[in-house]
Chains A and B, each alone.
Chain A
Amino acid sequence: MDEADVGRAIKRIAHEMLERHRGADGLILLGVHTRGVPLASALAAAVSELGEPVPVGEIDIGPYRDDLGRRPTTRLGRTSLPVDPNDRTVVLVDDVLFTGRTIRAALDAVSDLGRPASIELAVLVDRGHRQLPIRPDYIGKNLPTSLDERVTVKVGAVDGDTGVWVERAL
């Protein structure tokens, strides 16, 4: 996927979201650190362009991970919610959906911040190989991969350029 493909996928997800909820009333977008954050902002901008402003926040799931001892943490990012999530629909936004463990941690993190009416999941890429019963509500692209392949997502705000690449590990 190049930058234009990513842009089109985000626009389509914005439409799907507004169609499903008949507007953006009661929605909050919540970007999962690191690359979910600029994706959530881009998605919020796309939704606003359709005439429906939507609040956007960010969440770092570092303290909720189940593999702290196995994989050292990088520095923690910020968690901020622009509005009270209680009785609203929180849409988690992340770059790649893989095992589902990040989203499991994000669900715990959101529960600690309040009690949303519902939680949905938007991802730019679903590469399969789930280890938990988690499924996305909005998908930029289904990307069937094998386990020895590596999916790299770059987002302009973090990496300079934007796109999705699949490489076979050496």
Chain B
Amino acid sequence: MSHLLTVEGLPREEIEEILDTAESFMEVLERDIPKVPALRGSTVATMFFEASTRTRLSFERAAKALSADVMTFNPGTSSVSKGESLKDTALTLQAMGCNLMVVRHQAVGAAHRIAEWVDCPVVNAGDGAHQHPTQALIDCLALRRRFGKLDGLRVSVVGDIRHSRVARSDAFAFTAMGASVTWVAPATLLPPSLEMFPVTATADLEPQLPDSDVIYLLRVQSERGATSGLPSSSEFAARYGMDLDRLARLPSEAVVMHPGPINRGVELAGAVADDPRSLIVEQVGVGVAVRMAVLFRLSGGQL
């Protein structure tokens, strides 16, 4: 049984194949009838134990565009609120005939555990501050569409890296695709074991600007206690926020990315988000196609 639980160790050829398949589904999504019968008769369960709108909706849209049926599990209104365990919840959904599970959980490793218990493919849609594989694949596709390839791109990931599963996933995916990654954050917002990641780290954004092809801004995750490592959000914005002035110091072809949802005025000025050099809308745009590719390939026994 194959799963998509982490991008760490995912070889470049597999990433490229997923991106190629996603490109094919981009065409499907532009049709008058944006639907193919690939997963007809399959049931995809979305199990989001942690708040999410865009990721869950994007997975559900992807499943429906492949003609799968979707079961939406909502912990707030489910037996989890009566104390049902993660394992029993997963086994219950499996017993109802679900063929693929998409799992988001605040605990690191939740999707891995579920993958051990059930006998259907599991997609990790975010586990704590650990991994968010489909976001990394989406970011790779958005960059590949803009630059043609990721080889040689210099990516600076800026902000709350400590709490960011996106930063960790992107670090592995971008470097596998031939880019180099620098994490830019104050020491309080960097993870404790930096040597586990294929990145360099610095506390200063200013010197990075002229040498960055991509500025990847992360959301300050106040719900995970990020603000305790920060003096104030206005001071964060002053040192690490992207404004038009800093945008002007990037190389002319450089782009700005953000996984959303954005805090306008904190990680980036509103004008930066709306600038043609922002890839934020493209990131959302390719999201459904990338998730279609992942569901399609897992259902076909690949990945």
Report A's interface with B, CB cutoff 8 A. Answer: 60, 62-65, 68-69, 71-73, 75-80, 108-109, 112-113
Taking the complex as formed, is B31 at the interface, i.e. its CB lies under 8 A from any CB of chain A?
yes
**Minimal Cβ-Cβ distance residue in A for B299:** A68
Report if B118 contacts A (CB, 8 A).
no
Residue of A nearest to B99 (CB): A69
Contact A80 B27 (CB under 8 A): yes
A73: chain B residues within 8 A (beta carbon) = 21, 296-297, 300, 302
Interface-side segment among B32-40, B129-137, B193-201, B202-210:
B32-40
- Within the assembled complex, what's the spacing in Å between the Cα atoms of A69 and B40? 11
Nearest CB on B from A169, distance (A):
24
Residue B275 interfacial (CB < 8 Å): no
Given contacts A62-B38, A63-B37, contact A79 B302 (CB under 8 A): no
* B: number of interface residues (CB 8 Å): 23
Minimum CB–CB distance for A106 against chain B, Å: 13
- Could you say which residues of chain A place their CB within 8 Å of the CB of B66? 63
CA–CA, A72 to B299, complex, Å? 9
Interface string of B96-130 (1 = CB under 8 A from A): 00000000000000000000000000000000000
Closest to B37 in A: A64
Which secondary structure dominates chain A's binding surface?
loop
Residue from A60, A68, A79, A80 within 8 A of B300 (CB atoms): A68
Minimum Cβ distance to chain B for residue A69 (Å): 7
Interchain residue pairs A-B with the least CB separation, the first 9? A63-B36, A76-B24, A63-B38, A73-B300, A75-B17, A76-B21, A75-B20, A72-B301, A72-B300
User: What's the nearest-Cβ distance from chain B to residue A103, in Å?
Assistant: 16
Please give the residue numbers on chain B whose beta carbons come within 8 Å of chain A beta carbons, in ascending order.
17, 20-21, 23-25, 27-28, 31, 33, 35-39, 66, 293, 296-297, 299-302
Which among A65, A69, A76, A77 has the greatest number of chain B C-beta atoms within 10 A?
A76
A65 / chain B contacts, CB cutoff of 8 Å = 38
Given contacts A64-B36, A64-B37, contact A72 B21 (CB under 8 A): no
Contact B24 A79 (CB under 8 A): yes
Shortest Cβ distance from residue A74 to the other chain B in the assembled complex, whole angstroms: 8
Tell me the minimal C-beta distance from B290 to chain A in angstroms: 13
Docked Cα-Cα span, A68 to B35, in Å, equals 16
**Complex: how many Å from CA A62 to CA B28?**
12
Selected from A64, A71, A77, A112, the residue in CB contact (under 8 A) with B31 is A112
In Å, the complex CA distance between A77 and B24 comes to: 6
User: Which of chain B's residues has its CB closest to A60's CB?
Assistant: B24
Are A78 and B23 touching (Cβ within 8 A)?
A: yes
Query: Does the CB pair B35–A112 fall under 8 Å?
Result: yes
Residues of A within 8 A of B24 (CB): 60, 62, 75-79
CA distance A112 to B302 in the complex (A): 26
Q: Decide if B301 touches A76 in the complex (CB within 8 Å).
A: no
